[in-house]
Structure 1
Amino acid sequence: MSAVFDLLERPTYTMAQVDRLLGLPSGTARRWIDGYVRNGKPYPPVVREEHTGEDYATWGEFVETRLLSEFRSAGVPLINMRPAIEVLRAETGSPYPLAHSANLITSVGRELVKRVQDEVNLDEALQLVVLRNGQFMLTPPAETYMNAVRFNKRGDAVSIYPDPEFREIVIDPLRAFGEPVVDDRAVPTEVIAEQVRAGDSEEMVAELYELSPEQVRAAVLFELRRSA
Structure 2
Amino acid sequence: MGDAAERKGVQVPLRTRPLNIGIYEVPEAARLAGLKPAQLRRWLGGGEAPPLWRSELPVVEERIGLGFHDLVQARILGELVRQGLHPRLLRRLVAEARDMLRTEHPLAHARFRTDGKRLYLELLEEERRIYDLDRRQYGFHRVIEPSLKSLEYHGEMASRWWPLGRNTLVVLDPERAFGKPVASESGVPTATLFEQYVVHGSYRRVARIFDVREREVRDAVRFEKTLADRGSRTLRAA
Same fold at TM > 0.5? yes
Task: Give the gaps of 5 or more residues in structure 1.
Answer: 1-5, 38-42, 126-130
- SS in structure 2 at match of 1:82: helix
Deviation of the 1:66 alpha carbon: 1.0
Deviation of the 1:115 alpha carbon: 4.7
- Work out whether residues 76 and 144 of structure 2, in 8 Å CA contact, stay in contact via their aligned partners in 1: yes
- SS in structure 2 at match of 1:158: strand
| Residues matched between the structures, number | 200
> Which residue number corresponds to residue 15 of structure 2?
none
Alignment of 1:181 with 2:182, yes or no, is yes
Residue identity matched to 2:98: R
Alignment of 1:65 with 2:58, yes or no, is no
1:96 aligns with one of 101, 105, 108: 105
- Work out whether residues 203 and 214 of structure 2, in 8 Å CA contact, stay in contact via their aligned partners in 1: yes
User: 1:119–1:138: structure 2 CA closer, same or farther, 3 Å change rule?
Assistant: closer
Q: Which structure has more helix as a fraction of its residues?
A: 2
> Which residue number corresponds to residue 172 of structure 1?
173
Residue identity matched to 1:179: K
Residue identity matched to 1:91: M
**Mapping 1:72-91, distance limit 5 Å:** 72-91=81-100
State the superposition RMSD in angstroms: 3.3
Deviation of the 1:20 alpha carbon: 1.7
- Work out whether residues 203 and 213 of structure 1, in 8 Å CA contact, stay in contact via their aligned partners in 2: yes
Deviation of the 1:104 alpha carbon: 0.9
Deviation digits for residues 12-58 of structure 1, max 9, x if unmatched? 21111111222322312112232523xxxxx2222339xx7551112
- Work out whether residues 60 and 96 of structure 1, in 8 Å CA contact, stay in contact via their aligned partners in 2: yes
User: 1:33–1:167: structure 2 CA closer, same or farther, 3 Å change rule?
Assistant: farther
> Which residue number corresponds to residue 34 of structure 1?
45
- SS in structure 1 at match of 2:84: coil
Alignment of 1:123 with 2:132, yes or no, is no
The sequence identity of aligned pairs, in percent, is 25
| Distance (Å, rounded) in 2 between the aligned partners of 1:98 and 1:177 | 21
Deviation of the 1:120 alpha carbon: 9.5
Deviation of the 1:99 alpha carbon: 0.8
Residue identity matched to 2:96: V
Deviation of the 1:144 alpha carbon: 1.3
- Work out whether residues 166 and 222 of structure 1, in 8 Å CA contact, stay in contact via their aligned partners in 2: no
- Work out whether residues 83 and 120 of structure 1, in 8 Å CA contact, stay in contact via their aligned partners in 2: no
Alignment of 1:198 with 2:199, yes or no, is yes
Task: Give the gaps of 5 or more residues in structure 2.
Answer: 1-17, 130-134, 230-238
Deviation of the 1:86 alpha carbon: 1.8
| Distance (Å, rounded) in 2 between the aligned partners of 1:13 and 1:85 | 21
- TM-score of the superposed pair, with normalisation by structure 2: 0.70
User: 1:59–1:195: structure 2 CA closer, same or farther, 3 Å change rule?
Assistant: same
Residue identity matched to 1:62: L
Deviation digits for residues 111-151 of structure 1, max 9, x if unmatched? xx5257637975359xxxxx99xxxx843111111112121
- Work out whether residues 68 and 179 of structure 2, in 8 Å CA contact, stay in contact via their aligned partners in 1: no
Deviation digits for residues 66-118 of structure 1, max 9, x if unmatched? 1101112332332432223222222222121211112314xxx35xx525763
| Distance (Å, rounded) in 2 between the aligned partners of 1:70 and 1:13 | 19
1:146 aligns with one of 127, 148, 168: 148
User: 1:11–1:83: structure 2 CA closer, same or farther, 3 Å change rule?
Assistant: same
| Distance (Å, rounded) in 2 between the aligned partners of 1:188 and 1:80 | 36
- Work out whether residues 68 and 78 of structure 1, in 8 Å CA contact, stay in contact via their aligned partners in 2: no
- Work out whether residues 151 and 158 of structure 1, in 8 Å CA contact, stay in contact via their aligned partners in 2: yes
| Distance (Å, rounded) in 1 between the aligned partners of 2:215 and 2:123 | 48
Q: Which runs of 4+ in 1 moved over 6 A?
A: none
2:26 aligns with one of 1, 15, 19: 15
Q: Which structure has more strand as a fraction of its residues?
A: 1
